[in-house]
């Protein structure tokens, strides 16, 4: 996913992680920015999916 948004704050979650690995927590510039990110995540296989379908697919891929 390639998307440009304004980020106000970025925090790395966990300790001892290298650059480019692990997870980060990001505070976005506005609610509109969040909407852009959420809509971009909803595109799966070139089709728009409902957010709960995307989340369920992600959960299954994680093996939970």
> pLDDT per residue over 6-60, tens digit each?
889 988 887 777 777 778 888 998 988 888 888 787 776 677 666 666 566 655 6
Backbone angles phi, psi at 48, to 5 degrees: -80, 130
Give dist(CA 51, CA 48) in Å, integer. Answer: 9
Across the chain, how many H-helices and E-strands are there?
A: 2, 4
Give dist(CA 64, CA 60) in Å, integer. Answer: 6
Give dist(CA 33, CA 13) in Å, integer. Answer: 21
Predicted TM-score of the model (pTM): 0.50
């Amino acid at each position: 996913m390639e998307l440009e948004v304004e980020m106000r704050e970025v925090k790395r979650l966990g300790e001892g992680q290298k650059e480019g690995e692990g997870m980060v927590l990001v505070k976005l510039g506005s609610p509109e920015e969040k909407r852009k990110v959420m809509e971009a995540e909803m595109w799966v296989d070139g089709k728009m999916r409902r957010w709960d379908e995307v989340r369920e697919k992600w959960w299954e891929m994680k093996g939970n």
